[in-house]
Structure 1
Amino acid sequence: MVLGFYRRVTCALRITAIFGASLLAGPLASDVKYEVLTFDQLDGWADDDHAAAFSVFLNTCQDMKDPDWNAVCAFARTNPDPRYFFELLFRPVVMDDGNEPLFTGYFEPELEGSITPTSRYRFPVYKMPPEALQNRPWLPRRDILETGVMDGRGLEIAFVDDPVELFFLQIQGSGRIRLSNGNNLRVGYRGSNGHDYRSIGQELVRRGVYEPHQVSAQVIKNWVRRNPLEGQELLYHNPSYVFFREVSQVPGDQGPLGAMNRSITTMRTIAVDPAFVRLGSPVWIEKDGASPLRRLMIAQDTGSAIKGAQRADVFFGTGDAAGQLAGTVRDPGRLVVLMPIQRAYALLPESAI
């Protein structure tokens, strides 16, 4: 009886999708394969803290405006049992776009800085210039830093003491700056110059400096500091340049703002490719490697290097300890998106229903 009901709903939704309703996660390629699973096929599902994931889900559910998500979120606000909620209203879906699954980690850096430049604090954290919005792509990293195009325009948010940490702040997209006057300043991603991100870790491997398994954020930082001239050129290898905005209105006990303009949560938020995964969706993570992770997380963020159906970046928190953990993660596994039931079954061919 229930399966027959879902068959009828699925057919109706396919018709709706053909005529323009926004039913799916994003622009889905025709060669992506989908498999709808049951919850007992998720490794470790029963052992997770579903209440913790449910709390994070509620933080951004209010911003998901599609009709089926509205219904899901309305039920969530009635405070149901969290595990019952996910199992009742969602189905796990594996998406395969032909690329190998890859899990990495990110964090919120903490830098030392000042509102005004000094002999120590001389590397600016910039706001976005208007021409960078109007001309895509705009100037590459080297030209932004060497031609003086940013000088004398009042675009500096703050000044920090370490250009390497500033480079990694741009990779992470947000961070906190401990100011010399004792205050803290939080900055978030405003935009970029429009150039594609190029990995300096991969460039070190290409040059034969390191083997792939040796590369981490800390290893890269140490190499750049030991080799200042070559290190500067290595940073220029990545033409992408990120501009920031001040987001100090976010309380210090909460995480930085993610792509949904809400605070993200340590070890419960992931960054995904929104072309495949709807922002705000629950996502089951089966990360392998040296520190396996089986956990329900919420897709609340994006990243320029996060591309593909099986690509995810796990948020490890704020500060150096979180950064050391995040910098070692480069693992295989499986990403399973929890979709509202009708969306999940609408992805399957008729013969599979």
Structure 2
Amino acid sequence: MSAAAAGPALNDRARLDPLAFHDLAGWEDDDHAAAFQAFLRSCRALEAQAAELRPAQAPQADLLAVCREALKRPDPGRAEAKRFFEAHFQPFAVVPSSGQGFLTGYYEPEFEGSRTPDEAYSVPLLDRPEDLVTIPQGETLPGLEGLQAARRTPDGYEPYPDRAAIEDGALGTLARPVVYLKEPGEAFIIHVQGSARIRLGDGSVMRVAYAGRNGRPYTSIGRLLVERGEMDLETMTLAKLMGWLKDHPQEARDLMRQNRSYIFFREAAELAPEDGPIGGAGIPLVPGRSLAVDRSLWAYGLPIWLDGQLPVTLDEAEPLGRLMIAQDTGSAIVGPARGDFFFGSGEEAGRRAGLLRHAVRFVILQPKSGS
């Protein structure tokens, strides 16, 4: 394995052990054609970036070469798609230097809302303010170490206001409300998931997508509730969490403010109803095939094999052996063997996503040099 295969940011955080495809439990049974179609979405995006002369980042140079081969085969069957992955990629097990692989789930929520505020709808999702500056990955601004965004002022840059300050009106007119929801807990869930479908009073559905964040660290309120003894981790579900937030409004407000991270949104009018939400790679996500990864370590478009268990209920799980494509990221997705599995849209997807907090083996499919 070359240093380029691992990527310079990996360093001592994990080692990559080479495998053969027959070492992957369930590889023969997966729907490689479905994975290939998700892969093609990333390939089209990478090809468009190359056409715009954007600099490629390792391992994107080799990945782009594989993509150009994939784009010659727009609709392969399962057997042909399987042969393609085997011919152009080498699997490597990701072995973290500490801990183990860990997988969670996310989805696109659906809630009722209104474009204008009234007594029923008073909780806004805000658009991206003009003074918000996103700090490029791997870079820092003096005095802002550890932050991923900053506020531009006449005198330079300063930390962006946190959740509590923004909710108390620190941005004034800098951030326009995009849509209004009924419950603070609904808005918070959308912040965590990064996108939503909003059912409006006229029967139409509005899509909202991630437009930026204040750069403050993310804190899991579910973990805080477990630490306080309000819930136990084994029986926590998304529905149970949202019920607690609704039934304890004052405590919920204080709890949610412990997560200082704040997300801004835009209306995603370009999305068709059948499209998934826009991921970090700038393309619609594919239910059951799109994976959020640590973007500082892995390139968008990289195929990743997951080996573990996928919960169906609190007491039942099914084997997970599936080829995913890195197409998104998230503030809580940090580490070489950390992922977030996209389940889709709506209540059932949310139920499944809320159950997934499991140890999983991650196998990176690195493109073969010269492919």
TM-score interval, smaller chain: 0.7 to 0.9
1:94, 1:343 → 2: CA distance? 22
* TM-aligned CA distance change 1:288 to 1:184, over 3 Å: same
1:68 matched to 2:62? The reply is yes
Give the corresponding residue for 2:190: 169
Give the corresponding residue for 1:4: none
* TM-aligned CA distance change 1:26 to 1:254, over 3 Å: farther
1:140, 1:154 → 2: CA distance? 14
Give the corresponding residue for 2:306: 285
Give the corresponding residue for 1:183: 204
Aligned pairs (5 A) from 1:257-296: 257-288=278-309, 290-296=317-323
Aligned pairs (5 A) from 1:64-213: 64=46, 65=50, 66-79=60-73, 81-97=80-96, 98-133=98-133, 134-135=150-151, 137-146=159-168, 148-153=169-174, 155-213=176-234
Match for 1:59 among 41, 48, 51? Answer: 41
Q: Is the 8 A contact 1:38 1:92 kept in 2?
A: yes
Q: Deviations over 1:80-113 (max 9, x none)?
A: 6201100001011122232321111000011211
Unaligned runs of 5+ in 1: 1-9, 18-22, 345-353
* TM-aligned CA distance change 1:320 to 1:137, over 3 Å: farther
Q: Is the 8 A contact 2:110 2:196 kept in 1?
A: yes
2:27, 2:112 → 1: CA distance? 41
1:47 matched to 2:69? The reply is no
1:305, 1:230 → 2: CA distance? 23
Shift of 1:292: 2.7
* TM-aligned CA distance change 1:152 to 1:70, over 3 Å: closer
Shift of 1:332: 0.9
* Residue identity matched to 2:114: S
* Residue identity matched to 2:264: F
1:206, 1:123 → 2: CA distance? 28
1:341 matched to 2:357? The reply is no
Shift of 1:198: 0.4
Q: Is the 8 A contact 1:26 1:277 kept in 2?
A: no
Shift of 1:181: 2.1
Alpha-carbon RMSD: 2.0
Shift of 1:179: 1.2
Q: Is the 8 A contact 1:200 1:234 kept in 2?
A: yes
Q: Which has the higher helix share?
A: 1
Q: Deviations over 1:206-230 (max 9, x none)?
A: 1112222122222211112221111
Q: Is the 8 A contact 2:183 2:246 kept in 1?
A: no
Shift of 1:165: 0.9
* Residue identity matched to 1:174: S
State the SS of the aligned residue for 2:269.
coil
Shift of 1:121: 1.0
Q: Deviations over 1:169-220 (max 9, x none)?
A: 0000011111112222111111111110001011111111222212222221
State the SS of the aligned residue for 2:94.
strand
Shift of 1:264: 0.6
1:67, 1:227 → 2: CA distance? 51
* Residue identity matched to 2:164: R
* Residue identity matched to 1:109: P
Q: Structure 2 length normalisation: TM-score?
A: 0.83
Match for 2:353 among 326, 330, 350? Answer: 326
Q: How many percent of aligned residue pairs carry the same amino acid?
A: 38
1:85, 1:209 → 2: CA distance? 49
Q: Is the 8 A contact 1:114 1:159 kept in 2?
A: yes
1:29 matched to 2:11? The reply is yes
Q: Deviations over 1:272-325 (max 9, x none)?
A: 112222111111111326233111111100011111111111101001111011
State the SS of the aligned residue for 1:55.
helix
2:205, 2:13 → 1: CA distance? 47
State the SS of the aligned residue for 2:332.
coil
Q: Is the 8 A contact 1:26 1:275 kept in 2?
A: no
Q: Is the 8 A contact 1:25 1:275 kept in 2?
A: no
State the SS of the aligned residue for 1:342.
coil
2:370, 2:164 → 1: CA distance? 45
* TM-aligned CA distance change 1:199 to 1:83, over 3 Å: same
Q: Structure 1 length normalisation: TM-score?
A: 0.87
* TM-aligned CA distance change 1:118 to 1:254, over 3 Å: same
